[in-house]
Amino acid sequence: MVTAHRTVLPDLNAIAIYYGQLILAGEALDGLDMPIIGFFGEDDSSIAVEDVNNFKLILTNLGKTADINLYPGVGHAFANPSGQNYTAAAAEDAWARTIAFFARYLQNT
């Protein structure tokens, strides 16, 4: 998704990631030219905390505008109200941050 974003969605101006699989190759992430916000659960069995931390570090080292959030005690799909891992506090916080992020970065697009 990330590496082909300009081909498929040439007008993509910001990215929000909710517990999605991560690309950890710096060369693939280097081409990103839009801000990124991401939300992950510390107890997600499908996305390792180490991968989230590495993703954040890679983006920082590349000088990307990124806000990567890791919620303690929260599992995969924590923002899905019909799922077994739904965590209202984390979901509401992530949603509020997402709205503020898009308001900040998409207001003039």
Position 1 scores a pLDDT of 42
pTM value > 0.95: no
Residues of the chain with pLDDT under 70: 1-10, 109
Q: Which CATH number fits the domain 5-106, given the four candidates 1.10.275.10, 3.10.20.30, 3.40.50.300, 3.40.50.1820? A: 3.40.50.1820
Position 108 scores a pLDDT of 77
Domain segments of the chain as ranges: 5-106
Handedness of CA 32, 21, 37, 26 (dihedral sign): negative
CB 9 within 8 A of CB 15: no
